Chains A and B, each alone.
Chain A
Amino acid sequence: MHMPRLEKIWIAIGIATMAAFFVTLITLAVASDLNPPSTEGMTIDPTRVMQTPPFDKPGLHQIGPHLYEAYYVGQIFQWSPRELKVPAGSTVRFFVTSTDVVHGFTIPTADVNAEVMPGWISEVDHTFNSPGTYLVLCNQYCGAGHANMFSRVEVTR
């Protein structure tokens, strides 16, 4: 099989580029903990979410200085809680589950993005540095009212 020299160079550049991308991603994952939300083994009975603490009382829990846990329940077609208030500089750990179908939990300007499946708890963390109103919306099709499924995070000074 004959491969011209130019193509060998071209392929070598291609392999080197892809390898560099891959090594960069691994390095960032290991060194800077830049990982996707891959909550492992956190399951919940989707038919009993409303009776299962802490999802029976969705909302914010302070667990340390500038550190919060927020429990969200996705249900057609709304997020509970409807609104959350945290001071700027807070790190919030979002724990999200669904009582019905698959939802997508996202805060567009805050790099918060996770699929939310019934039966599973998704975790995604974010530190809110700038004050303002953040839109929390559903980015996975969940039914007729999908586009109306949103809530807010108010980050105060």
Chain B
Amino acid sequence: MSKRENRLILAHIWVALGAMFVGTAFGLLQVYSRAGAHVTEFFDYYRLLTAHGVLLAIVFTTFFICGIATYATYSAIPRENRSLAIGWTAWSIMLFGTVMAAVEILAGNASVLYTFYAPLKASPWFYLGATLLVAGSWVVMLDILVQIKAYKRAHPGMNVPLPSFVAAITFIMWFIATLGVAGEMLLLIPWAFGWTSGIDVHLTRILFWYFGHPLVYFWIMGAYMVWYTVLPRMLGIPVWSDSLTRLAFILLLVLSLPVGIHHQLMDPGISNVWKMLQVGLTLAVVLPSLMTAFAIFASFETYAAKQGKTGFFGIVGCLPWSNPAFTGTALAMILFIFGGFGGIVNTSYSMDILVHNTMWIVGHFHITVGGPVALTFLATTYLLIPKLTGRILMTPRMANAQVIGYFVGMSLMSIGMHVEGLLGAPRRTAHLDYGTSVVASSWESWSILAAVGGTIVFINILLYAFCLIGLFSIKAYGETDFAFAEAEDPQSSPWWLSRMDIWVTAAIILMIVAYAGPIWEHFHEGPIYLAPGMRTW
């Protein structure tokens, strides 16, 4: 990797981290507001909630994944004097879009939350900015595919190297998913400019969730990229299995996509049969995650065997817990076990009525994207940033305390939110004062627990910032061991695991099966009324 390539990767990471710092600070205000601190007199809750969601769930994750996927691809496919024109174009478009959307949100012109459900009508520049962010990430995919094409030209008949393969699969999934939100934008943007008078609310929701749940898997695949290919390197072992890693990502490509309607189980206008179909497909996507769990435990066992350790405590005890990158990633995995369980509840059809739009869901995604994904990414930066800048992290103990503190805080916050939700507390509300309601008073202590957890998370984000400041103020230079691992026999996989075209076709067919019904139904059942837009904030 050359210095100029490193700069491109770092540019993605810095934007991701910038969004993360701002977004987390807003999150702190939100947990206090809900715990009854009456802080909303000083700020506009929904404006900052929109910023929190967009900056953390979209900007932080997308930029980080673009950075790490580009890095994985570039390092697996080394090229002399590689053109970085595509890479920088992508980054620039994404940043331009992000700034455009962020300005509109902070100016109060787009307090529509990160789901921007019509007919809430934001400024057209917010929709355009978001579109550019997504369009820029398509250019990142193009860059990855260009590198892969160059590899294939130079190495005919060989399988694409594993790190670049998983990066490409992740971005192809992302591309198919974002076609949904791009389609939605084609309806929203003319309407927001006032060129069309009404909006098909239901169709925009279907298109949003066509993208909205695969988005979740985009985050997860970013984290899995680290778990499968970076974690073994931290342990000094090869990737556990080349073919099973490829298979897991292929299953994620095919099964992550046709699942969005499980977010619309409480919607009218979609019949039960289509809902049930996507519930089944959502349950199927658990499979690659189970494979991932197996691969990780197998890696741990391989590592322990090298130290002569066996048995559960032997294995857990000998893992490199003093390495913050490892500790953070391992704790992230623990959170994902519970995040996964909760996800199965959420998609369980009639059971969703208990938790839909309650704080349970918020608790759930804070131990999926907020925990496993974000913690994996932050932990990775403890290796990635030193590696890319040639500096040495001189505060590994503090960094270790930081990832542990983040884990504790996120767990407490999530427990508070889950229980609050089971007791019926709604999500997305600035406060919980519902008159003198007995039900609402049962939420109080749990919202306070969530605020305590949120505070701990915030303190640990400050600690993270402190570690970064230390990294750049202490003049310690050297080589950090960060790389993407491959398997012992990287060319062992059968050809059908390396052929993306077959699996992309399979994914598209399954997408048609899952969505043809609901969309046909939408246009054939009763007249469709277009709703005028509204600014209600």
Q: Which residues of A approach B to under 8 Å, CB–CB?
A: 1-4, 6-7, 10-11, 14-15, 18, 21-22, 25-26, 28-29, 34-47, 76, 100-102, 104, 106, 108-109, 111-115, 117-123, 133, 135, 137-144, 146-147, 150
Contact = CB atoms under 8 A, between A and B. Distances in A.
Listed from nearest, the 4 A-B pairs whose CB atoms lie closest are A108-B424, A143-B536, A41-B525, A139-B426
A123 to B, nearest CB: 7
B438 interface: yes
Contact of A37 (B205, B266, B497, B536): B266
Contacts of A40: 268-269, 271, 521, 525
Contacts of B298: 4, 7
A1 B267 CA distance: 43
A146 B46 contact: yes
Chain A contact residues, majority secondary structure: mixed
Contacts of A41: 269, 525-526
B396 interface: no
Contact of B350 (A28, A39, A42, A139): A28
Nearest to B33: A147
B344 interface: yes
A29 B271 CA distance: 13
Given A21-B344, A37-B268, A133 B353 contact: no
Contacts, number: 211
B46 A115 contact: no
A102 B276 contact: no
A7 B267 CA distance: 39
A26 B46 CA distance: 38
B243 A140 contact: no
Contact of B268 (A28, A112, A120, A138): A120
Interface string B247-283: 1000000000000000011111111100110011001
A106 B357 contact: yes
B353 to A, nearest CB: 5
A60 to B, nearest CB: 21
B272 A2 contact: no
A25 B426 contact: no
A37 B344 CA distance: 20
7 contacts: A1-B493, A6-B294, A37-B268, A118-B531, A135-B434, A140-B428, A142-B536
A106 B352 CA distance: 13
B46 A14 contact: no
A3 B439 CA distance: 51
A7 B290 CA distance: 9
Contact of B276 (A25, A119, A147): A25
Contacts of A135: 434, 437, 439-440
Contact of B202 (A22, A120, A144, A150): A120
Nearest to B435: A150
A131 B356 CA distance: 25
A74 to B, nearest CB: 12
Nearest to B284: A18
Nearest to B351: A25
B268 A38 contact: yes
Interface string B356-368: 1110000000000
**Chain B CB within 10 Å, residue with most, of A11, A18, A42:** A18
B536 A144 contact: yes
Given A139-B427, A144-B536, A146-B430, A36 B529 contact: no
> Most B CB atoms within 10 A — which of A3, A141, A143?
A141
A135 B290 CA distance: 40
Contacts of B433: 147
A104 B357 CA distance: 8
A2 B525 CA distance: 49
B244 interface: yes
Contact of B529 (A2, A45, A123): A45
A140 B432 CA distance: 14
B45 to A, nearest CB: 8
Given A15-B287, A114-B268, A138-B426, A102 B439 contact: no
B431 interface: yes
Contacts of A21: 283, 344, 348
A45 B531 CA distance: 8
Contacts of A34: 349-350
Contacts of B428: 139-141, 146
Interface in B480-535: 493-494, 497, 521, 525-532, 534
Contact of A38 (B270, B287, B354): B270
Contact of B279 (A25, A106, A115): A25
A2 B439 contact: no
Contacts of B528: 43, 119
Contact of A100 (B119, B423, B430, B440): B119
Interface in B313-354: 344, 348-354
Contacts of A7: 244, 291, 294, 298
A139 B119 contact: no
A118 to B, nearest CB: 4
A101 B284 contact: no
A35 B350 contact: yes
B205 to A, nearest CB: 7
B531 A46 contact: yes
A113 B357 contact: yes
B534 A137 contact: no
B268 A117 contact: yes
B264 to A, nearest CB: 7
Contact of B290 (A10, A115, A138): A10
